[in-house]
Amino acid sequence: MPKATEPQKETLGFEAEVTQVLDLMINALYSNKEIFLRELISNAADAADKLRFESLSDSALFEEDPDLKIHVDFDKEAKRVIVRDNGIGMTRDEVILNIGTIAKSGTKEFLASLSGDQKKDAKLIGQFGVGFYSGFVVADKIEINTRRAGLKKEHGVHWESDGRGEYSIENIEMPSRGTEIILHLKEDEAEFLDQWRLRSIITKYSDHIDLPILMKKVDYPSEDEKQEEKKEKKIEWETVNRATALWTLPRNQIKSSEYKELYKHIAHDFEEPLLWSHNKVEGNLEYISLLYIPTKAPFDLWNREFQRGLKLYVKRVFIMDDVDQFLPMYLRFVKGIVDTNDLPLNISREILQNNKKVESIKSALAKRVLGILVKLSKDNKEKYEQFWTEFGRVIKEGPAEDFANRDDIAKLLRFSTTLTDSEKQDVSLEDYVSRMKSDQDKIYYVTADNFGAAKNSPHLEIFRKKGIEVLLLSDRIDEWLVANLPEFEGKQLQSVARGDAAIAEMEDEETKKIQEKAKDDFASVLKQIKEVLGESVKEVRVTSRLTTSPACIVADENDLNMNMQRILKAVGQEVPEVKPILELNPEHTIVQRLKEEHDDERFADWAHILFDQAVLAEGGQLKDPATFVANLNKLLIEIAQ
């Protein structure tokens, strides 16, 4: 077995996904090449944060070099840019994992979402957060020298690649811990071999990084020294960024551009945030929060392994990334920082789970996020509309998860309605209530698999006739939403496809008399249809909810409706069989024809067709489509003859 000090050089191939991302990166980011430096500095800062955290339990990791910093340098003759940090560093296995592969969930979904449009794809690549690979936009070869803190010098690692499918890796001796990245620039990228160009990029994108970024300061000799035959330059390193934890500063000392760049650093997003909230709390709890609402939803928002949560600092010391205990699940898209004085430096994810202080901060942060969103919805409807398009379905999870904030969540909800029949969800519950008729005390809604099915539901007919607005719900989450949002401002939410209570409330005395007469007139028809359909239906009855359709199916008041049954079955849930109620429109020609039909076989055919049509109109699937088609064809032939 070779010793650790031997080179152990091998050449390996990138994962297929890495090769694809590299190609896309070079093409999509070509117009904004300078961000490669931002990404490399951001990675270096993360490495320093990780060392700070691990050193809490093992101070020897600092190796007598506790001053964390980043060096940026260039070599004009060799055409190289070098970024070096003294952070945590990497082992050989970590280099292979972090550089040779993309160890991230949703990679295939990400690649599938790319459109070929360079501008759009650049934004997606930014969401994906593959910062290191952006170096290949300006370099035709990249070298990495790294050693993990705590390992001996002979455990250094050298990695090298031209980004064309393969890379080499070998062991080297490396006296100091950390990572050095050397970019061999392409022939036409000489602009980055200039001190002021690099300084301007650092100032523009990385001024907020909370550890010093150093570049060489060149001082020319004094007048006396100029007399010497050989003129030498004195080289010192100087800090070129503010090197202050931005969130610790008062808000009036922070520029909007600085807030935006910090967001891009912590979220690994190329887009600017939609809005943010910076707040300092003092009292029983002491913490600073800086919360961002992204402009675009990440491509993997619905992936179960989606990395969510905030960056946690304790007394300005970075503790961990992606801490999901500070926000409820329905706010998982929020990015940001929490810096608190009330937690121990050695806190773990397990301790965070059952910590009362964490719960108090979580409650306060949720209220803050909802507060800025409610304000946005009132102050800037266009911007809120943009937010709702991206994150509306996630917000709809809120009432089921966060009972305490249900009223504020309800104010954020937006829906399509029968007022415009537009698929665009832009009607708030406050808007709906403001337009309710004087004698209306319920908020009516209909749910369906898709917008078309909702808009054309036969259950809406009587509501359209009477000019009563109905919410059109077609997102899968909507069934859970209405199940957990029983009312809004004292107005009960009522399904138009459940029971007959909603219809009964709208009937005047004359309509009730007409219905009672129809019930008596069609008593034998209803009984015969129930006998024909048997166990397929719970009940058959006449209704006044239909104006143009002959029949519809509804759920009993306390039963699962058909749409909810389909959703539960789709996710593998066992659903007890629930029989629907078949309702008939006594004024429809087909129903009146049934009353006059004396042929039992033809009557049965009509009964089955009416039921099957009602199931289809509701968005359901037929158990026996072939029989439905046969019955329909049979009747069509008879009519044609």
298-337 tens-digit pLDDT:
877 887 667 788 999 888 878 888 888 999 999 999 999 9
Question: pLDDT-derived band of residue 117, with 50, 70 and 90 as boundaries?
Answer: low
Return the amino acid letter for 374.
Answer: V
- pLDDT tens readout for residues 36-55: 898 899 889 989 988 988 88
pLDDT at 316: 80
Residue 298 is which amino acid? P
Model confidence pLDDT, tens digit, residues 271-295 = 899 999 999 999 889 999 999 999 9
Share of the chain above pLDDT 70, in %: 87
Long-range contacts of 29-34 (CB under 8 A, 24+ apart): 29/122, 29/125, 29/134, 29/137, 30/118, 30/137, 31/118, 31/122, 32/122, 32/270, 33/137, 33/138, 33/189, 34/192, 34/201, 34/205
Distance CA 496, CA 365 (A): 37
Per-residue pLDDT at 130: 53
User: If pLDDT is split at 50, 70 and 90, which confidence band does 132 have?
Assistant: confident
pLDDT for the residue 435: 95
pLDDT in tens, 173-188: 999 999 999 999 999 9
Percentage of residues of the chain with pLDDT beyond 90: 53
Distance CA 618, CA 553 (A): 7
- The number of angstroms, rounded, from the C-alpha of 605 to the middle of its chain's C-alpha atoms is 49
Nearest alpha carbon to residue 357 among 428, 284, 297: 284
- Interval 528-548 mean pLDDT: 92
In this prediction the pTM is 0.77
Instruction: Count CB neighbours of 42 within 10 A.
Output: 21
The confidence band for 110, taking pLDDT boundaries of 50, 70 and 90, is low
pLDDT of 500 strictly over 80: no
pLDDT above 50 for 569: yes
Q: Which amino acid is at 73?
A: D
CA angle at 178 for the pair 172 and 181, rounded to the nearest 5°: 75
Rounded Cα distance, 433 and 493, in Å: 11
pLDDT for residue 181:
96
CB-CB contact of 311 with 337 (8 Å): yes
pLDDT score recorded for residue 608: 92
Query: What's the pLDDT score for residue 564?
Result: 73
Per-residue pLDDT, averaged over 605-618, amounts to 90
Across the range 541-569, mean pLDDT stands at 82
Tell which residue, 78, 76, 14, 73, has the closest CA to residue 40: 73
**pLDDT at residue number 69:** 95
Q: Over the stretch 139-168, which tens digit does the pLDDT of each residue have?
A: 999 999 999 999 999 999 999 999 888 899
pLDDT in tens, 345-385: 777 777 788 889 999 999 999 999 999 999 999 999 999 99
The separation between the first and the last C-alpha atoms of the chain, rounded to the nearest angstrom, is 91
pLDDT at 8 over 50: yes
Instruction: Decide if pLDDT at 388 tops 90.
Output: yes
The answer to whether 303 touches 394, Cβ cutoff 8 Å, is no
Closest CA to 554 of 612, 502, 499: 499
Average pLDDT over residues 591-620: 89
Q: How far apart, in Å, are the Cα atoms of 69 and each of 60, 88, 90?
A: 18, 12, 17
Q: How confident is the model at residue 86 (pLDDT cuts 50, 70, 90)?
A: very high
CA separation for the pair 505, 488 (Å, rounded): 19
Q: DSSP class of residue 415?
A: B
- Beta strand segments in 421-561, E: 442-447, 471-473, 487-488, 491-495, 539-542, 551-554
Torsion of CA 441, 443, 446, 450, to 10 degrees: 170
Residue 100's pLDDT band, with cuts at 50, 70 and 90, is low
pLDDT higher than 70, residue 637 = yes
pLDDT at 414 over 80: yes
Q: Could you read off the pLDDT of 440-492 as tens digits, one per residue?
A: 889 999 998 889 999 999 999 999 999 999 999 999 899 889 999 999 999 99
CA distances from 327 to 197, 309, 324, 333 (A): 40, 7, 6, 10
Q: Taking the C-alpha atoms of 432, 435, 436 and 438 in order, what is their torsion angle to the nearest 10 degrees?
A: 160
Radius of gyration over alpha carbons of the chain, in Å?
33
Q: Average pLDDT of 580-585?
A: 92
pLDDT computed for residue 470 by the predictor: 96
The answer, yes or no, to whether residue 3 has pLDDT greater than 70, is no
Rounded to 5 degrees, φ, ψ at 553 are: -115, 145
- What structural domains and CATH numbers belong to the chain? 10-221+231-239 (3.30.565.10), 246-387 (3.30.230.80), 413-496 (3.40.50.11260), 508-640 (1.20.120.790)
Residue 225 has a pLDDT of: 57
What pLDDT score does 307 carry? 77
